[in-house]
């Protein structure tokens, strides 16, 4: 794959993703995390703002990638 379609060299599960596919995947993960986090704040935190939301989102998104069978590898 040429650098224009995958400038970072990043891949998931060994198969390079083009920019559009990667953006679609991240958008889907972020949307799902936002929904789940709203439930977490309401139910687990009693409606209190979650100061630790970045860590929560990170863990949720990593779990979602693993559940979908993805493995992230760093390109050049």
Range of 53's domain?
A: 17-73
DSSP character for 56?
A: H
Residue-wise pLDDT for 21-55, tens only, equals 889 999 999 999 999 999 999 999 999 999 999 99
- The yes-or-no verdict on residue 3 having pLDDT over 60 is no
Distances in Å between the Cα of 16 and the Cα atoms of 6, 23, 24, 27, 65 are: 7, 13, 14, 17, 15
Is there a domain that residue 4 lies in? no
pLDDT at site 71: 81
pTM for this prediction: 0.73
Is there a domain that residue 38 lies in? yes
Is there a domain that residue 5 lies in? no
The percent of residues above 70 in pLDDT, for the chain, comes to 79
Q: Report d(CA 36, CA 30) in Å as an integer.
A: 10
Is there a domain that residue 9 lies in? no
């Amino acid at each position: 794959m040429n650098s224009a379609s995958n400038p970072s060299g990043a891949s998931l599960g060994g198969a390079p993703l083009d920019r559009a596919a990667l953006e679609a995947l991240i958008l889907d993960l972020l949307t799902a995390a936002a929904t789940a986090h709203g439930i977490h704040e309401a139910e687990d935190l009693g409606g209190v703002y979650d100061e630790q939301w970045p860590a929560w989102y990170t863990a949720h998104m990593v779990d979602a990638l693993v559940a979908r069978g993805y493995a992230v590898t760093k390109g050049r």
